[in-house]
Structure 1
């Protein structure tokens, strides 16, 4: 409210100042006709000035603002995979019965191009990840997810992620797995219905994680080649890691 009042006062003061200047011009030069002519000239250029300010400059500012938001979002995504995402992927891929097939597709190399990343992401979106749960595996996963829970909550509270639906959906699916695991004191492998429920949650989270991880790697290649080279060497799916 105060901001709107301040803007109105500034506009009013500028309008009054403009009027005073025109009055002074008439009093000094005694030529109302010329003054009116120049006023009409100014009004004639007003639509063009508005077009330049609102359309051209406005579009530039929007693009710049969007680029800044994307930079902040990518910073958050980088933090996620550095702090938690990669560790979670390493554990979750151990639940996959077709992990070898997935690893072959995700054996990302330093010379990959955008087309290879897009092709891999599309492959992951359509693949059927087969999950098999064991009690010991679930207990290990629970320990990991408990240690990352507070970090995940802070990420979900980040307003910058509201514009990145796919990454937010991935975070929610990972957080859901965390809540499901924490809610159980023990894991009864004999309870087929419960194991199937957990398996479906893990499958959904792992697929979303892998798709976002591929996009994260593509972003690193474009923006941070030196960091990309390091992450490629540490690729959890690479068969020849350094």
Structure 2
């Protein structure tokens, strides 16, 4: 493959090499000591591999950190879109049917004062909390309608390649799609036997448990990085009975 002299890398290389030749040429003309000039050149060449190693390691680390931060920002932008379009309302629907919600409601009222330790403590408590959802035929019918209307959005979300790096959120989407498919396969919810309602309730609870965990992680991300977005999310908290988007 031919290297074009028009690329900035080639032009930069030519300029740097020419600058080095010019500097050593000026040194020789002013001092007139060829042996000393050669010695200086070889000393510099001796340290060149070390310089390249250090610069490469540092630049690679800096670029890796920046790339990771950029991926995280893109990922959380997608997650934020999910909660804006589906997640927050779905969380409200499911939490309203959670008989055990009073046990954890206070722990999920996130504020500006929360520290990373507080978020970690709440996550630990959620791991030991049993997410229950009490649903009947009417609830399942309404949930089926809600998820079916948003199937297109969820499909486009799942196609986003950045989600491949977020296993827990991808698991949430899989659980949501599985629940949607289960509900769509039913015809008359009023005629379902108790065993099938119990099966569907288990699918709902799977979505609910994963949804709470992802919501809490997203709230922590917003609090740390985007205070203005966190403010609205805090005022729209589905677990806060006093929450209102109106600033008071």
| Global fold match (TM > 0.5) | yes
CA distance in 2, matches of 1:32, 1:53: 30
Q: What's the RMSD between the two structures over aligned residues?
A: 3.1
Q: TM-score, normalised by structure 1?
A: 0.81
Distance, in Å, in 1 between the alignment partners of 2:90 and 2:241 is: 19
Q: Distance in 2 between matches of 1:171 and 1:150?
A: 13
State the alpha-carbon separation in 1 of the partners of residues 3 and 173 from structure 2: 42
Cα distance between partner residues in 2 of 1:57 and 1:149:
43
Question: Does 2:84 align with 1:82?
Answer: yes
2:45: which partner in 1?
43
Query: Number of residue pairs matched?
Result: 232
Q: Gaps spanning 5+ residues in structure 2: where?
A: none
How far apart, CA to CA, are the structure 2 residues paired with 1:80 and 1:48? 48
**Among 156, 167, 170, which residue is 1:168 paired with?**
170
Which residue of 196, 205, 208 maps to 1:206?
208
| Shift of residue 200, structure 1, vs aligned partner | 1.4
Structure 1 CA distance for aligned equivalents of residues 191 and 103 of structure 2: 26
Aligned to 2:193: 191
Q: Unpaired segments of 5 or more residues in structure 1? A: none
CA distance in 2, matches of 1:124, 1:147: 30
Alignment-derived partner of residue 63 in structure 2: 61
TM-score, scaled to structure 2: 0.80
Q: Distance in 2 between matches of 1:201 and 1:91?
A: 15
Residue aligning to 1:108: 110
The 1:94/1:239 distance shift into structure 2, 3 A limit, reads closer
Determine if the alignment matches structure 1 residue 123 to structure 2 residue 125.
yes
The more displaced of 31-40 and 148-157 is 31-40
Measure how far apart 1:33 and its partner are. Answer: 6.3
Single out whichever of 185-194 and 63-72 deviates more from structure 2.
Answer: 185-194
CA drift at 1:70 = 0.8
Q: CA deviation at 1:104?
A: 3.0
Aligned partners of 2:79 and 2:218 also within 8 Å: yes
- Please tell me whether the aligned partners of residues 84 and 148 of structure 1 are also in contact (alpha carbons under 8 angstroms): yes
Tell me the SS of whatever aligns to 1:95: coil
CA distance in 2, matches of 1:155, 1:52: 41
* Kept in 2: contact 1:189–1:195 (CA 8 A): no
In structure 2, what is the Cα distance between the partners aligned to 1:200 and 1:108? 27
